[in-house]
Amino acid sequence: MPQRLSIAESREVRMAWLFAAPALLAIALVAAFPVLWTFWESLHRHDLRLPWLGRPFIGLSNYREALADTRAWSAIAHTLFFTATTVSAELVLGLALALGLNRPLRVQGALRAAALLPWAIPTVVAALIWRFMFESPDGSSWFADPLAAWVPIILADVWKMMPFVALLLLAGLQNIDNSMYEAAALDGAGPVRQFAFITLPLLRPAIAAAVVFRSLDAFRVFDVIYVMTGGGPGTATEPISLYAFTALFRELRFGFGSALAMMVFFVSFLLALAWIRLLATQESVT
């Protein structure tokens, strides 16, 4: 490689930057600016209701308050619990559905469309439907119990998002060369061994993609829970996004609410990095 770029090449580089500039600008405006703004806000005591306190810079005080706040910690715990249960259930059921849909059937198209229906329903509507289904006329209530209240929430989310996982896995299944199964069958491997030694390993990238998408999504859960329980009873089902929303838009504590929002951002960012790492090592193995 030459030490210095020729004039033509450096012109090309400049042109490349020029062409990329609008996209970079868009990313900066759409992604970076709000995040940085929120971060800046989180370093201030900013309370819309109390303008006489001004908007003093208070460093990391909001973060210290959040870290000492048991409500914030239990909100994070609820969020992780929700993420773990829904994503694993969606994965298992989605895989089963994908395997079912992967057979050559005459009604294949219709079946696939039908399976996707829950996913196409807006989350708020789906959550309302499930809430009504779990309201009983005799006056007892799933939503009055801190543990039982999770059941309708998790069911609603799994019902709604499982088809999405199935679709991702179905695409992965269709990438697997059929000749592998034929060879395995010739060698005397039954369906269980075929699944364990061909399907699962080759499906790993698709599974990983599904887990990344879903866990990031689930970690930011808001709408299902907002509609079904509002975080209750008490705060027994409150996820961290809902707590941040409450601090921001009900209590109008913009500084503290921004700190909570930054924590959501930070954890999902870490999750994303971890998953990307995992994916990368997997690809180098395969």
Which residues of this protein are in contact with another protein, per CB under 8 A?
Answer: 47-53, 71, 135-136, 138-141, 143-146, 229-236, 246, 249-253
Structure tokens at 152: 């309708």
The DSSP code for 5 is: -
Nearer to another protein, 86 or 235 (CB): 235
Measured from the CB atom, is 51 or 190 closer to another protein?
A: 51
Nearest to 65 by CA among 42, 88, 38, 84: 42
Q: How far is the CB of 229 from another protein (least distance, A)?
A: 8
Q: What is the closest distance, in whole angstroms, from the C-beta atom of residue 123 to another protein in the complex?
A: 18
Residues 7-35 as b or e (16 or more Cβ within 10 Å = b) = eeeeeeeeeeeeeeeeeeeeeeeeeeeee
How many other CB atoms are found less than 10 A from the CB of residue 114?
12
- Nearest-angstrom CA–CA distance, 156 and 221: 12
State the minimum distance, in angstroms, from the CB of residue 136 to another protein: 7
- The Cα-based distances of 235 to 74, 200, 222 in angstroms read 9, 39, 14
At its nearest, how many Å lie between another protein and the CB of residue 81?
16
Cβ contact 111:242 at 8 Å: no
Position 10: which residue type? S
Nearer to another protein, 49 or 103 (CB): 49
Q: How far is the CB of 49 from another protein (least distance, A)?
A: 5
- What's the DSSP call for residue 188? T
> Least distance (Å) from another protein to the CB of residue 200?
42
Nearest CA-CA partner of 242 in 119, 127, 88, 134: 127
